[in-house]
Protein backbone atom coordinates (compact mmCIF):
# COMPACT_ATOMS: atom_id res chain seq x y z
CA UNK A 1 0.00 0.00 0.00
CA UNK A 2 1.30 3.43 -1.01
CA UNK A 3 1.53 5.93 1.84
CA UNK A 4 2.16 9.59 1.12
CA UNK A 5 4.91 11.14 3.16
CA UNK A 6 3.86 14.55 4.47
CA UNK A 7 6.15 17.45 3.79
CA UNK A 8 6.77 20.78 5.44
CA UNK A 9 7.00 23.98 3.49
CA UNK A 10 7.12 27.64 4.49
CA UNK A 11 4.27 29.81 3.34
CA UNK A 12 4.52 33.56 3.88
CA UNK A 13 7.15 32.84 6.49
CA UNK A 14 5.12 30.28 8.44
CA UNK A 15 5.64 26.50 8.49
CA UNK A 16 2.88 24.49 6.84
CA UNK A 17 2.39 20.71 6.67
CA UNK A 18 1.10 19.30 3.40
CA UNK A 19 0.41 15.88 1.86
CA UNK A 20 3.36 14.72 -0.20
CA UNK A 21 1.60 15.21 -3.51
CA UNK A 22 0.39 18.75 -2.82
CA UNK A 23 0.59 21.25 -5.63
CA UNK A 24 0.88 24.99 -5.43
CA UNK A 25 -2.81 25.55 -6.05
CA UNK A 26 -3.64 23.51 -2.92
CA UNK A 27 -1.66 25.98 -0.84
CA UNK A 28 -3.03 29.04 -2.57
CA UNK A 29 -6.63 27.95 -2.02
CA UNK A 30 -5.94 27.86 1.72
CA UNK A 31 -5.52 31.61 1.57
CA UNK A 32 -8.05 32.80 -0.93
CA UNK A 33 -10.26 30.98 -3.40
CA UNK A 34 -10.36 34.04 -5.64
CA UNK A 35 -7.19 33.11 -7.49
CA UNK A 36 -7.12 36.08 -9.84
CA UNK A 37 -6.44 38.38 -6.89
CA UNK A 38 -3.16 36.63 -6.10
CA UNK A 39 0.41 36.31 -7.33
CA UNK A 40 2.68 33.55 -6.10
CA UNK A 41 6.40 32.95 -5.90
CA UNK A 42 8.22 29.77 -4.91
CA UNK A 43 11.74 30.32 -3.65
CA UNK A 44 11.47 33.87 -5.03
CA UNK A 45 10.65 32.67 -8.53
CA UNK A 46 7.28 33.93 -9.74
CA UNK A 47 5.04 31.10 -10.91
CA UNK A 48 2.40 31.99 -13.54
CA UNK A 49 -1.18 31.34 -12.42
CA UNK A 50 -1.65 28.84 -15.25
CA UNK A 51 1.08 26.63 -13.76
CA UNK A 52 -0.17 26.50 -10.17
CA UNK A 53 -2.26 23.34 -10.56
CA UNK A 54 0.67 21.37 -11.96
CA UNK A 55 3.42 22.82 -9.80
CA UNK A 56 4.58 20.05 -7.47
CA UNK A 57 5.93 21.42 -4.20
CA UNK A 58 8.89 19.88 -2.46
CA UNK A 59 10.11 19.80 1.13
CA UNK A 60 11.16 23.20 2.54
CA UNK A 61 9.95 25.20 -0.43
CA UNK A 62 9.35 28.84 0.43
CA UNK A 63 6.00 29.96 -0.94
CA UNK A 64 5.05 33.62 -0.93
CA UNK A 65 1.52 34.70 -1.79
CA UNK A 66 0.80 38.31 -2.63
CA UNK A 67 -2.27 40.36 -3.31
CA UNK A 68 -3.02 43.99 -4.13
CA UNK A 69 -4.48 46.15 -1.39
CA UNK A 70 -5.34 49.79 -0.83
CA UNK A 71 -2.34 52.06 -1.26
CA UNK A 72 -1.24 55.38 -2.69
CA UNK B 1 -6.25 64.69 -23.03
CA UNK B 2 -3.43 63.24 -21.01
CA UNK B 3 -1.37 60.66 -22.88
CA UNK B 4 0.89 58.25 -21.03
CA UNK B 5 2.48 55.28 -22.79
CA UNK B 6 0.21 55.77 -25.81
CA UNK B 7 -2.90 55.63 -23.62
CA UNK B 8 -5.12 58.67 -23.35
CA UNK B 9 -7.01 59.77 -20.27
CA UNK B 10 -9.65 62.50 -19.93
CA UNK B 11 -8.85 63.01 -16.26
CA UNK B 12 -5.61 64.58 -15.08
CA UNK B 13 -6.25 63.57 -11.48
CA UNK B 14 -4.72 60.29 -10.41
CA UNK B 15 -5.92 58.95 -7.08
CA UNK B 16 -4.58 56.58 -4.47
CA UNK B 17 -6.68 54.13 -2.49
CA UNK B 18 -4.89 54.14 0.88
CA UNK B 19 -6.17 55.50 4.20
CA UNK B 20 -9.89 55.46 3.44
CA UNK B 21 -11.96 54.53 6.49
CA UNK B 22 -14.21 52.17 4.52
CA UNK B 23 -14.18 50.56 1.06
CA UNK B 24 -17.51 52.10 0.06
CA UNK B 25 -16.19 55.56 0.95
CA UNK B 26 -13.12 54.88 -1.20
CA UNK B 27 -15.32 53.84 -4.11
CA UNK B 28 -17.51 56.92 -3.80
CA UNK B 29 -14.44 59.16 -3.72
CA UNK B 30 -12.86 57.55 -6.78
CA UNK B 31 -16.10 57.89 -8.68
CA UNK B 32 -16.44 61.55 -7.63
CA UNK B 33 -12.82 62.23 -8.62
CA UNK B 34 -13.48 60.94 -12.17
CA UNK B 35 -9.97 59.57 -11.92
CA UNK B 36 -8.97 57.05 -14.58
CA UNK B 37 -5.63 55.93 -13.13
CA UNK B 38 -5.81 54.56 -9.61
CA UNK B 39 -2.99 53.20 -7.48
CA UNK B 40 -2.87 50.22 -5.18
CA UNK B 41 -0.14 48.40 -3.28
CA UNK B 42 1.31 44.90 -3.24
CA UNK B 43 1.22 43.00 0.05
CA UNK B 44 1.85 39.49 1.28
CA UNK B 45 -1.46 37.82 2.06
CA UNK B 46 -2.33 37.76 5.72
CA UNK B 47 -2.20 34.10 6.66
CA UNK B 48 -4.86 34.27 9.36
CA UNK B 49 -7.49 36.59 7.97
CA UNK B 50 -9.53 34.75 5.36
CA UNK B 51 -11.31 37.99 4.59
CA UNK B 52 -9.63 39.50 1.56
CA UNK B 53 -9.02 43.21 1.07
CA UNK B 54 -11.89 44.28 -1.23
CA UNK B 55 -9.94 47.09 -2.93
CA UNK B 56 -8.92 45.12 -6.01
CA UNK B 57 -12.40 43.71 -6.58
CA UNK B 58 -13.95 47.16 -6.25
CA UNK B 59 -11.43 48.77 -8.59
CA UNK B 60 -11.97 46.09 -11.21
CA UNK B 61 -15.64 47.06 -11.28
CA UNK B 62 -14.80 50.70 -12.06
CA UNK B 63 -13.76 52.27 -15.39
CA UNK B 64 -10.18 52.86 -14.25
CA UNK B 65 -6.70 51.71 -15.21
CA UNK B 66 -4.97 50.08 -12.27
CA UNK B 67 -1.56 51.42 -11.33
CA UNK B 68 0.15 49.04 -8.89
CA UNK B 69 2.97 50.53 -6.87
CA UNK B 70 6.12 49.04 -5.40
CA UNK B 71 5.68 50.74 -2.05
CA UNK B 72 7.63 48.92 0.63
CA UNK B 73 10.55 48.21 -1.68
CA UNK B 74 13.80 49.48 -0.18
CA UNK B 75 16.13 48.71 -3.08
CA UNK B 76 16.37 47.74 -6.76
CA UNK B 77 15.91 44.01 -6.23
CA UNK B 78 12.81 44.38 -4.08
CA UNK B 79 11.26 46.85 -6.50
CA UNK B 80 11.86 44.60 -9.50
CA UNK B 81 10.43 41.61 -7.61
CA UNK B 82 7.34 43.62 -6.65
CA UNK B 83 6.91 44.90 -10.20
CA UNK B 84 7.03 41.42 -11.68
CA UNK B 85 4.56 40.12 -9.10
CA UNK B 86 2.16 42.97 -9.84
CA UNK B 87 2.38 42.31 -13.56
CA UNK B 88 1.73 38.61 -13.06
CA UNK B 89 -1.23 39.38 -10.82
CA UNK B 90 -2.90 42.01 -12.98
CA UNK B 91 -1.62 41.20 -16.42
CA UNK B 92 -0.73 44.88 -16.80
CA UNK B 93 2.51 46.65 -17.51
CA UNK B 94 1.57 49.83 -15.67
CA UNK B 95 3.79 50.47 -12.68
CA UNK B 96 4.30 53.22 -10.16
CA UNK B 97 7.90 52.68 -9.14
CA UNK B 98 8.52 53.66 -5.53
CA UNK B 99 11.69 52.98 -3.58
CA UNK B 100 11.84 54.71 -0.24
CA UNK B 101 14.01 53.01 2.34
CA UNK B 102 13.52 55.67 5.03
CA UNK B 103 10.24 55.30 6.89
CA UNK B 104 10.25 58.69 8.60
CA UNK B 105 10.15 60.89 5.50
CA UNK B 106 9.50 58.24 2.84
CA UNK B 107 11.76 60.13 0.48
CA UNK B 108 12.55 58.22 -2.71
CA UNK B 109 16.04 56.82 -3.20
CA UNK B 110 17.12 58.41 -6.49
CA UNK B 111 19.93 55.99 -7.29
CA UNK B 112 17.95 52.82 -6.66
CA UNK B 113 14.95 54.29 -8.48
CA UNK B 114 16.97 55.08 -11.61
CA UNK B 115 18.62 51.65 -11.62
CA UNK B 116 15.27 49.89 -11.22
CA UNK B 117 13.67 52.05 -13.90
CA UNK B 118 16.39 51.10 -16.40
CA UNK B 119 15.73 47.41 -15.82
CA UNK B 120 11.95 47.62 -15.78
CA UNK B 121 11.70 49.72 -18.94
CA UNK B 122 13.71 47.03 -20.75
CA UNK B 123 11.22 44.46 -19.44
CA UNK B 124 8.39 46.37 -21.08
CA UNK B 125 6.88 48.08 -18.06
CA UNK B 126 5.25 51.50 -18.33
CA UNK B 127 7.32 52.94 -15.51
CA UNK B 128 6.01 55.96 -13.61
CA UNK B 129 8.68 56.68 -11.01
CA UNK B 130 7.95 58.52 -7.77
CA UNK B 131 11.03 60.71 -7.41
CA UNK B 132 12.58 63.74 -5.83
CA UNK B 133 11.83 67.10 -7.45
CA UNK B 134 15.29 67.01 -8.98
CA UNK B 135 15.39 68.26 -12.58
CA UNK B 136 18.57 66.30 -13.38
CA UNK B 137 17.16 63.07 -12.01
CA UNK B 138 13.89 63.59 -13.89
CA UNK B 139 15.82 63.94 -17.12
CA UNK B 140 17.75 60.78 -16.39
CA UNK B 141 14.52 58.90 -15.69
CA UNK B 142 13.04 60.29 -18.89
CA UNK B 143 16.13 59.26 -20.85
CA UNK B 144 15.88 55.79 -19.33
CA UNK B 145 12.50 55.43 -21.02
CA UNK B 146 10.09 56.12 -18.18
CA UNK B 147 6.54 56.80 -19.35
CA UNK B 148 6.23 59.79 -17.01
CA UNK B 149 7.98 61.28 -14.00
CA UNK B 150 6.32 61.78 -10.62
CA UNK B 151 8.25 64.40 -8.65
CA UNK B 152 7.11 65.09 -5.10
CA UNK B 153 5.61 68.33 -3.81
CA UNK B 154 6.37 67.43 -0.19
CA UNK B 155 6.75 64.18 1.81
CA UNK B 156 4.04 61.55 1.27
CA UNK B 157 0.94 62.18 3.35
CA UNK B 158 2.28 65.45 4.77
CA UNK B 159 -0.33 67.73 3.13
CA UNK B 160 2.28 70.50 3.02
CA UNK B 161 1.61 71.50 -0.58
CA UNK B 162 4.11 72.40 -3.29
CA UNK B 163 7.26 72.96 -1.23
CA UNK B 164 9.33 72.10 -4.29
CA UNK B 165 7.59 74.51 -6.64
CA UNK B 166 10.73 76.18 -8.04
CA UNK B 167 12.18 72.81 -9.01
CA UNK B 168 8.86 71.55 -10.34
CA UNK B 169 8.89 74.53 -12.69
CA UNK B 170 12.28 73.47 -14.10
CA UNK B 171 11.21 69.84 -14.39
CA UNK B 172 8.08 70.84 -16.31
CA UNK B 173 10.11 73.10 -18.59
CA UNK B 174 12.52 70.32 -19.48
CA UNK B 175 10.24 67.29 -19.64
CA UNK B 176 9.31 65.48 -22.81
CA UNK B 177 7.23 62.94 -20.87
CA UNK B 178 4.23 63.80 -18.67
CA UNK B 179 5.03 65.32 -15.29
CA UNK B 180 2.70 64.09 -12.55
CA UNK B 181 3.13 65.93 -9.27
CA UNK B 182 2.83 63.33 -6.55
CA UNK B 183 2.89 63.50 -2.75
CA UNK B 184 2.30 66.38 -0.42
CA UNK B 185 -0.67 67.91 -2.22
CA UNK B 186 -2.88 68.83 0.71
CA UNK B 187 -5.80 70.74 -0.73
CA UNK B 188 -7.42 71.47 -4.08
CA UNK B 189 -5.64 74.82 -4.40
CA UNK B 190 -2.29 72.97 -4.29
CA UNK B 191 -3.45 70.76 -7.14
CA UNK B 192 -4.68 73.78 -9.04
CA UNK B 193 -1.32 75.51 -8.54
CA UNK B 194 0.55 72.49 -9.89
CA UNK B 195 -1.65 72.42 -12.95
CA UNK B 196 -1.33 76.19 -13.50
CA UNK B 197 2.42 75.65 -13.44
CA UNK B 198 2.05 73.25 -16.35
CA UNK B 199 2.09 69.87 -14.67
CA UNK B 200 0.37 67.27 -16.83
CA UNK B 201 -1.41 65.66 -13.88
CA UNK B 202 -1.36 65.27 -10.12
CA UNK B 203 -1.74 62.27 -7.85
CA UNK B 204 -3.72 62.72 -4.65
CA UNK B 205 -4.45 60.21 -1.93
CA UNK B 206 -4.19 61.39 1.70
CA UNK B 207 -5.85 64.75 1.12
CA UNK B 208 -8.94 63.01 -0.23
CA UNK B 209 -8.97 59.88 1.93
CA UNK B 210 -8.58 61.70 5.24
CA UNK B 211 -10.90 64.63 4.48
CA UNK B 212 -14.08 64.81 6.56
CA UNK B 213 -16.11 64.07 3.42
CA UNK B 214 -13.83 62.23 0.96
CA UNK B 215 -16.27 62.09 -1.95
CA UNK B 216 -16.91 65.81 -1.79
CA UNK B 217 -13.20 66.51 -1.49
CA UNK B 218 -12.54 64.27 -4.50
CA UNK B 219 -15.09 66.28 -6.45
CA UNK B 220 -13.37 69.50 -5.36
CA UNK B 221 -9.99 68.15 -6.49
CA UNK B 222 -11.39 67.18 -9.88
CA UNK B 223 -12.67 70.74 -10.36
CA UNK B 224 -9.39 72.26 -9.14
CA UNK B 225 -7.31 70.14 -11.52
CA UNK B 226 -9.52 71.04 -14.47
CA UNK B 227 -9.43 74.71 -13.44
CA UNK B 228 -5.65 74.77 -13.16
CA UNK B 229 -5.24 73.07 -16.51
CA UNK B 230 -7.57 75.57 -18.16
CA UNK B 231 -5.60 78.43 -16.64
CA UNK B 232 -2.34 76.96 -17.90
CA UNK B 233 -3.74 76.63 -21.41
CA UNK B 234 -5.07 80.18 -21.24
CA UNK B 235 -1.60 81.44 -20.34
CA UNK B 236 -1.25 83.10 -16.95
CA UNK B 237 -0.43 86.79 -16.95
CA UNK B 238 3.06 87.92 -15.99
CA UNK B 239 4.00 89.26 -12.54
CA UNK B 240 5.44 92.72 -11.86
CA UNK B 241 7.02 94.24 -8.80
CA UNK B 242 5.13 97.54 -9.15
CA UNK B 243 1.52 98.46 -9.76
CA UNK B 244 0.09 98.68 -13.26
CA UNK B 245 -3.26 100.42 -13.17
CA UNK B 246 -6.29 98.58 -14.43
CA UNK B 247 -8.41 101.73 -14.38
CA UNK B 248 -7.60 105.03 -16.06
CA UNK B 249 -5.77 107.38 -13.71
CA UNK B 250 -7.85 110.53 -13.81
CA UNK B 251 -7.39 113.76 -11.93
CA UNK B 252 -11.04 114.29 -10.96
CA UNK B 253 -10.23 114.21 -7.23
CA UNK B 254 -7.78 117.01 -7.84
CA UNK B 255 -10.61 118.95 -9.51
CA UNK B 256 -12.33 119.27 -6.11
CA UNK B 257 -9.53 121.30 -4.58
**pLDDT digit string, tens, across residues B165-217:** 999 999 999 999 999 999 999 999 999 999 999 999 999 999 999 999 999 99
Distance from CA of B170 to the nearest CA of A (A): 25
- Closest listed residue to residue A70, CA positions, set B49, B58, B6: B58
Quick: pLDDT tens for B13-50. Answer: 999 999 999 999 999 999 999 999 999 999 998 765 55
Give the CATH number, domain containing residue A38: 3.10.20.30
- Closest listed residue to residue B146, CA positions, set B169, B166, B123: B123
SS3 content of chain A, % helix, strand, coil (to 5): 25, 40, 35
Listed in order, strand segments (DSSP E) in chain B are: 2-4, 7-9, 13-15, 37-44, 65-69, 94-97, 126-131, 150-151, 180-182, 201-204
- Closest listed residue to residue B100, CA positions, set B133, B75, B117, B136: B75
Residue A72 inside a domain? The answer is no
Average pLDDT, chain B: 94
Question: Hey, is the C-beta of A65 within 8 angstroms of any chain B C-beta?
Answer: yes
Helix B76-90 to helix B110-122 angle (10° resolution) is 40
Q: Which residues of B are marked as active site? A: 96
Q: Is the pLDDT of residue A1 over 60?
A: no
Average pLDDT, chain A: 89
Distance from CA of A18 to the nearest CA of B (A): 16
Please give the ipTM for the structure prediction.
0.89
Residue A56 inside a domain? The answer is yes
Predicted pLDDT of residue B47: 62
**Total domains in the fold of chain A:** 1
Which range of residues forms the domain containing residue A12? 7-67
Asked whether the beta carbons of B98 and B71 are under 8 A apart, the reply is yes
Residue A2 inside a domain? The answer is no
Tell me the mean pLDDT in the region B108-135: 98
Rounded Cα–Cα distance for residues B155 and B148 (Å): 19
Tell me the mean pLDDT in the region A8-23: 89
Quick: pLDDT tens for B163-179. Answer: 999 999 999 999 999 99
**A71: which chain B residues are within 8 Å (Cβ-Cβ)?**
16-18, 39-41, 43, 69, 71
Residue A18 inside a domain? The answer is yes
pTM of the model: 0.91
A11, A31, A67 member nearest B43 (Cβ): A67
Question: Hey, is the C-beta of A15 within 8 angstroms of any chain B C-beta?
Answer: no
Asked whether the beta carbons of A16 and A10 are under 8 A apart, the reply is yes
Report percent pLDDT > 70 for chain A: 94
Amino acid sequence: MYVETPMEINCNGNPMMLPGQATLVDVVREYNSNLDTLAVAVNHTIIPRSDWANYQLTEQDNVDIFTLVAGG
Amino acid sequence: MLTIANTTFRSRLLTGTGKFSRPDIMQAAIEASESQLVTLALKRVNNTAKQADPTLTILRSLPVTLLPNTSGAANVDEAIYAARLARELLGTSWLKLEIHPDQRYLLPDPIETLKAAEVLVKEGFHVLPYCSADPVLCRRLQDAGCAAVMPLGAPIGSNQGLRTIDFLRIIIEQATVPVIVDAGIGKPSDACAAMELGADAVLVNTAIATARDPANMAYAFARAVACGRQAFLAGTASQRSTADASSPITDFLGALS
